[in-house]
Homo-oligomer: A and B are copies of this chain.
Amino acid sequence: MPNPSTIHDLPTPSLLVERSVFDANVAAMAKVHPGASLRPHVKAFKSSALAAQLKLAGHHSFCAATIRELEGMAKAGLGTDLLLANEVLDARRLGALVAQGHRITVAVDSTETIHAAADGGVKEVLIDVDIGLPRCGCDPADAGRLADLARASGLEVRGVMGYEGHLMMAAPDTKAAAVERAMDVLLTAHADVGGDVISAGGTGTYAVNTRATEIQAGSYCLLDTDYATLESPFEIAVSILATIVSISSKGWAVANCGLKALGMDHGNPTWPEGELMFCSDEHTTLVDPDANLGVGDQVRLLPAHLDPTVARHEQFWVVDGEQIVDRWPIDLRHW
């Protein structure tokens, strides 16, 4: 495709980022958590080019959820301090990055993942602690033992990690206290583990988690309709551009954007101009009783859940209104 200059030149569906909103989100977070006190989570946007923008804003350490994300970040020259905030057994792929000179830390929560890290050539780990979300993380009482085991296996233990994911959408009047209790658990484990790092948090708790040494937030820079329900300075910078390909005299219009362009676990996307009837594989049917839309019109839909939506696309088209000002490949997809 020749270089598109406006959104009318793009194939649809395409993923758009409104540059000014993105910049405002990044600035708002950097004000609260400057430099290394934010460890941006690349799982939210899966783009090393976007991560490079966050580096320009002062953040040079990043975290990720998959090995492929770390491999891509290292390849893009962003391997100063990368954390795989997730458990893996195939740690040889991480060891290969260490051997290339990148700084790689991996989360561990079991004997098996500690042995995998040591055998795979990783040098540094965080002990991942269960602080209330039923997912990864060791029993807090077991954190000290695992740290000892890791050190005995030749690993440097940088500290602890926890994720209060169950509190991201908690009610505002109880959230701070609930995060405090979760962090009490993590800090008690930290006393048994040692190290400088207490890594936790996310876009939903960045303002109230005051005890982590670094916050793992990623969604804040683009947001979605779910996170937009929270009180915060962040606004939705991302949308899916679609074209109306069919209209019906019965009062609907069909956009060429569907389940294959969207993450649907938080429900339907939002069409700010009106009501949405349903999504199917490659279509979204919009309610349009007054026939305001015509075949060929473009519409923008807002995703309900950012991360799994982004992972369906090849690139972000960065726009200033209808003008295309940049393109950020989504190069960190798959595993």
Contacts and interface: CB of A to CB of B under 8 A. Distances in A.
Contacts of A305: 259
Total copies of the chain: 2
How many of chain A's residues touch chain B, expressed as a range?
A: 35 or more
Contacts of A334: 313-314
Interface string A42-85: 01000000000000000000000111000000000000000000
A90 B280 contact: no
Q: Which of A250, A280, A308 has the most CB of B within 10 A?
A: A308
A136 B311 contact: no
Q: Which of A109, A247, A282 has the most CB of B within 10 A?
A: A282
A134 B335 contact: no
Interface string A237-278: 000000101111110101010011101110000000000011
A242 B327 CA distance: 33
A135 interface: yes
Contact of A248 (B11, B90, B130): B130
A246 to B, nearest CB: 4
A254 B261 CA distance: 27
Interface string A158-187: 000000010000000000000000000000
A282 B86 contact: yes
A167 to B, nearest CB: 14
A112 B247 CA distance: 11
A151 interface: no
A33 to B, nearest CB: 21
A40 interface: no
Interface in A113-136: 113, 130, 134-136
A13 interface: yes
Nearest to A335: B11
14 contacts: A87-B254, A89-B295, A110-B295, A130-B248, A134-B250, A134-B252, A134-B277, A135-B285, A137-B246, A259-B307, A260-B307, A260-B311, A264-B308, A314-B334
